[in-house]
C-alpha cells in the first residue's frame, strides 16, 4: 500500500481495483448478495409504487388550494405585509406536515408501516450479511495485495461473540441513521411551515416581506442554506457510522466504542468520508427516484432488475471503499499501516 495520502477519487479507484483484480471475489460477493438482491427486487417495487401513489395524492390535494391575498403597503413601500385569508375549508390546507399526515388514507398509511418494517428489519439484516463478507475479504485483498482462491473465500469467521458484537454496532448505525434522517426531514418540513406562516388570533395567516415579493427568493435562499447544512451534518455523521461498522468488523471493537474509534480516526480525513457518502447517497437516491418518477420503471421488471443490480453493486463498492478509507484514516493518524499488534494497541487505547 502506498505511503501517500489518498483523495476520495483515489479511494474509489482502489475500491474498483479490488473488484477487478480478483474474479473469485466478484463471484463470491454476488452469491452472498443474492438474498439481498432478491429481497431488494420486492422492496424497490413496493417503494416506487408507494412513492408514485403518494406523489399523485399530494399533488391532487395541492391543486385544490385557492388562497386569497390582500396587499397592504406602509410608508415608502420598503416593508410590505401580506394577509392570506385562512382557507375556508381547512381540510384543503397542505401547508403543515401534520395536515399531510392526516390526509394520507388508511391504505397508504398501512403501506408506509409495511415499508418501514421491511426496511428496518429484513432489508438491513440481509445487507449486514453481505457487509460481513465484503468487508472481511476486501480488507485481506487490499492489505495483503494478493488474489484469493475460492477455497480461501470460504474461510469466514463466524464465532458467536463476534457476530453479536457486530450486530450491536450495526443496530447503533441503523438506529442513529434512521432517527437522524427522519428527524431532519421533520425539522425541515416544520421549519418551512413556521417560516412561511404565522397563525394570528384574528383568523388570518401573516407573512412578512422585507423586499416585497422578492422575499420568496429570500425564503428559498434561507431554506436552501438550512437544507445544505443538514445534509452536510448527515453526511459527516453517516461517514462516522459506516466507518464504525468497519472498525467493528476488522478490529473487534463493538457498539459505542467502535463509533468513538471511528470518530477519532476520521478527524484528519473527514472530507474524504463526506465525499464518499455524497457519491453513494446520490447513487442510491438517483437510482430510486429517476427510474421511478421519470421513466415509471417500477412497471417493468427489466427496469427493476437493472436498477437493483446497480444499487447492489453500489452498495458493495461503498463498503470496499470504506475499507480503503479506514486504512487511509489509520495512515493519517499514525503515519503507517497498522498491523495486528498495533490494532490491539488501538483497542487498548479505546477501552482505557
* 82 contacts 70 by C-beta, under 8 angstroms: yes
Distance CA 282, CA 286 (A): 6
Residue 84: left (phi > 0), alpha (psi -120 to 50), or beta? beta
CA nearest to 321, candidates 14, 31, 28, 89:
14
> How close are the terminal C-alpha atoms of the chain, in Å?
30
User: What's the DSSP call for residue 86?
Assistant: P
Sheet with 79-85, strands from edge to edge, namely 69-74, 79-85, 204-209, 198-199
Distance CA 63, CA 73 (A): 29
Please give the residue that has the higher pLDDT: either 13 or 306: 13
Highest mean pLDDT among 116-120, 160-164, 334-338: 116-120
Distance CA 272, CA 321 (A): 11
CA 159 to chain centre: 30
Tell me which residue has cell 440481509.
126
Please give the residue that has the higher pLDDT: either 236 or 183: 236
- In this prediction, residue 182 carries a pLDDT of 86
Given pLDDT bands bounded at 50, 70 and 90, which one contains residue 64?
very low
Distance CA 272, CA 290 (A): 26
β 69-74/204-209 pair status: unpaired
- In this prediction, residue 213 carries a pLDDT of 47
Grouping H, G, I as helix, E, B as strand and the rest as coil, residue 83 is: strand
Average pLDDT over residues 53-82: 49
Q: Which residues contact 238 (CB under 8 A, 6 or more apart)?
A: 177, 277, 281
Distance CA 308, CA 285 (A): 12
Amino acid at each position: 500500500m502506498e505511503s501517500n495520502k489518498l483523495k476520495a477519487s483515489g479511494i474509489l479507484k482502489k475500491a474498483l481495483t479490488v473488484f477487478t483484480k480478483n474474479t473469485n471475489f466478484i463471484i463470491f460477493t454476488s452469491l452472498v448478495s443474492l438474498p439481498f438482491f432478491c429481497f431488494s427486487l420486492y422492496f424497490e417495487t413496493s417503494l416506487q409504487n408507494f412513492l408514485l401513489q403518494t406523489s399523485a395524492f399530494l399533488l391532487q390535494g395541492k391543486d385544490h388550494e385557492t388562497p386569497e391575498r390582500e396587499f397592504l403597503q406602509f410608508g415608502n413601500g420598503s416593508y410590505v405585509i401580506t394577509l392570506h385569508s385562512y382557507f375556508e375549508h381547512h381540510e384543503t390546507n397542505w401547508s403543515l406536515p401534520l395536515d399531510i399526515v392526516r390526509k394520507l388514507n388508511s391504505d397508504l398509511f398501512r403501506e408506509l408501516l409495511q415499508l418501514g418494517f421491511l426496511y428496518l428489519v429484513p432489508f438491513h439484516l440481509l445487507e449486514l450479511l453481505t457487509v460481513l463478507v465484503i468487508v472481511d475479504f476486501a480488507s485481506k485483498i487490499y492489505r495483503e495485495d494478493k488474489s484469493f482462491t475460492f477455497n480461501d473465500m470460504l474461510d469466514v469467521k463466524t464465532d458467536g461473540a463476534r457476530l453479536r458484537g457486530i450486530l450491536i454496532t450495526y443496530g447503533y448505525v441503523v438506529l442513529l441513521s434512521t432517527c437522524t434522517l427522519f428527524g431532519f426531514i421533520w425539522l425541515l418540513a416544520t421549519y418551512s411551515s413556521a417560516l412561511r406562516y404565522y397563525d394570528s388570533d384574528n383568523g388570518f395567516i401573516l407573512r412578512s416581506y422585507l423586499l416585497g415579493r422578492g422575499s420568496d427568493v429570500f425564503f428559498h435562499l434561507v431554506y436552501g442554506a438550512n437544507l445544505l447544512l443538514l445534509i452536510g451534518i448527515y453526511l459527516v455523521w453517516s461517514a462516522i457510522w459506516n466507518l464504525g461498522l468497519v472498525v467493528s468488523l476488522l478490529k473487534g471493537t463493538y457498539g459505542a466504542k467502535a463509533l468513538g474509534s471511528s470518530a477519532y480516526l476520521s478527524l484528519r480525513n473527514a472530507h474524504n468520508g463526506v465525499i464518499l457518502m455524497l457519491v453513494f447517497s446520490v447513487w442510491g437516491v438517483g437510482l430510486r427516484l429517476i427510474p421511478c418518477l421519470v421513466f415509471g420503471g417500477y412497471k417493468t421488471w427489466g427496469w427493476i432488475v437493472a436498477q437493483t443490480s446497480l444499487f447492489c453493486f453500489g452498495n458493495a463498492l461503498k463498503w470496499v471503499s470504506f475499507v480503503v478509507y479506514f486504512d487511509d484514516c489509520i495512515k493519517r493518524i499514525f503515519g503507517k499501516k497498522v498491523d495486528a499488534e498495533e490494532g490491539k494497541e488501538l483497542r487498548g487505547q479505546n477501552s482505557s
